[in-house]
Chains A and B, each alone.
Chain A
Amino acid sequence: MPVSGAPAPERAPQPPADGHSRDRRGSPVPTAGMIATRIMELRKRRGLMIALIVMNIGLPALFLFSRLLGHAFVPRTSPPAGGNQIFGVLAAGFLPTFGFVVAATVGCTAGSRDLTEGMFRHLVVTGRSRLALYLARIPAGLAIVVPLVAVGYTIVCAVCAFAAPVVITDNGVNIPPGLSRAGFANWAGNHAELVVCNFPYNGPVPGNVACPSGPGWWSVSSATPGQAAPAALEALAIKIADQDYPGYTRIYLSPPASLMTEAGLWIELEAAVGFILGLGLASLMGQRTVPVILLIMFQIILTPILVGPGITHLQDLQHSFVGLAVAHLEPSGLPVAIGLPGVTGGAGSPGSTRLPESATEAVCVIIAWLAAWTILGAWRMTTRDA
Chain B
Amino acid sequence: MITTAVPSAPGRLAGECRWAVETHGLTKRFGAKTAVNGVELLVPRGSAFGYLGPNGAGKTTLIRVLLGLTRADAGTMSLLGYAVPRHRDAALTRVGAIVDEPRFHRHLTGRQNLRLLAAAREPAARDRIGPALERVGLAHRADDRVSGYSMGMRQRLGVAACLLGDPEMLLLDEPMNGLDPAGMAQMRDMILSMVAEGRTVVLSSHLLDEVERTCDAVAIVDRGSVIAQGPIPELLAGAQPTLHVECSEPGRARALLAGTAFGARAEAAPPALGLGLGLGITLPAGAGRDVIAEINRVLVEGGISVYRLLPVQASLESWFLQVTTRLGDPE
A residues adjacent to B (C-beta < 8 A): 1-4, 7-14, 16, 19-23, 25-26, 31, 33-34, 36-38, 40-41, 44-46, 113, 117-119, 121-129, 133, 385-386
Contact = CB atoms under 8 A, between A and B. Distances in A.
Nearest to B106: A117
6 contacts: A3-B3, A11-B17, A22-B122, A25-B122, A119-B103, A126-B165
Q: Can you list the 9 inter-chain pairs with the closest CB atoms, starting with the nearest?
A: A118-B103, A127-B92, A11-B81, A23-B122, A13-B90, A386-B69, A19-B124, A33-B119, A128-B120
Contact of A133 (B6, B76, B97, B120): B120
A11 B17 CA distance: 8
Interface of A is mostly: loop
A287 B102 CA distance: 20
A44 B6 contact: no
B193 interface: no
Given A46-B107, A121-B69, A8 B1 contact: no
A2 B17 CA distance: 17
A1 B3 contact: yes
Contact of B40 (A4, A14, A122, A129): A4
B112 interface: yes
Contacts of A40: 108, 112, 115-116
Contacts of B101: 118
B11 interface: no
Given A13-B82, A117-B104, A129-B89, A7 B22 contact: yes
Contact of B119 (A2, A12, A34): A34
Contact of B99 (A31, A41, A125): A125
Contacts of A113: 105
Nearest to B91: A127
B213 interface: no
B70 A386 contact: yes
Nearest to A33: B119
A242 to B, nearest CB: 60
Contact of B230 (A3, A8, A12, A26): A3
Given A23-B93, A122-B117, A117 B105 contact: yes
B308 interface: no
A125 B67 contact: yes
| Residue picked from A13, A26, A127, most chain B C-beta under 10 Å | A127
A16 B4 CA distance: 34
A37 to B, nearest CB: 4
A121 B158 CA distance: 12
Interface in B24-77: 24, 40, 42, 64, 67-71, 76
Contact of A12 (B68, B70, B76, B87): B87
Contact of B5 (A3, A10, A23, A385): A3
B78 A11 contact: yes
A133 B166 CA distance: 21
Interface of B: 1, 3-6, 17-19, 22, 24, 40, 42, 64, 67-71, 76, 78, 80-83, 86-93, 95-97, 99-108, 112-113, 115-124, 126, 161, 165-166, 229-230
A44 B108 CA distance: 7
A8 B17 contact: yes
B69 A127 contact: no
A1 B6 CA distance: 11
Contacts of B123: 22-23, 33
Contact of B120 (A13, A16, A123): A123
B102 to A, nearest CB: 8
A265 to B, nearest CB: 31
A41 B116 contact: yes
B62 to A, nearest CB: 14
B126 A33 contact: yes
B121 A122 contact: no
Nearest to A40: B112
A12 B293 CA distance: 60
A68 B117 CA distance: 48
A45 to B, nearest CB: 6
A126 B99 CA distance: 12
Contacts of B24: 7
A50 B81 CA distance: 49
A47 to B, nearest CB: 8
B113 to A, nearest CB: 8
Contacts of A21: 122
Nearest to A13: B90
A14 B91 CA distance: 10
Nearest to A129: B89
A12 B22 CA distance: 16
Contacts of A20: 93, 122, 124
A143 B101 CA distance: 32
B117 A126 contact: yes
Contacts of B71: 385
B64 A386 contact: yes
A113 to B, nearest CB: 7
A2 B297 CA distance: 41
A20 B166 CA distance: 10
A36 B22 contact: no
B112 A44 contact: yes
A127 B93 contact: yes
A7 B88 CA distance: 18
A381 to B, nearest CB: 13
Given A20-B93, A41-B116, A8 B81 contact: yes
Contact of B92 (A117, A125, A385): A125
B1 to A, nearest CB: 7
B87 A11 contact: yes
Nearest to A47: B107
B92 A126 contact: yes
Contacts of A2: 3-5
Given A3-B42, A25-B89, A45-B107, A8 B78 contact: yes
A36 B17 CA distance: 38
Contacts of A1: 1, 3, 40
A19 B97 contact: no
A144 to B, nearest CB: 15
B119 A37 contact: yes
B120 A126 contact: yes
B274 to A, nearest CB: 40
A124 B69 contact: yes
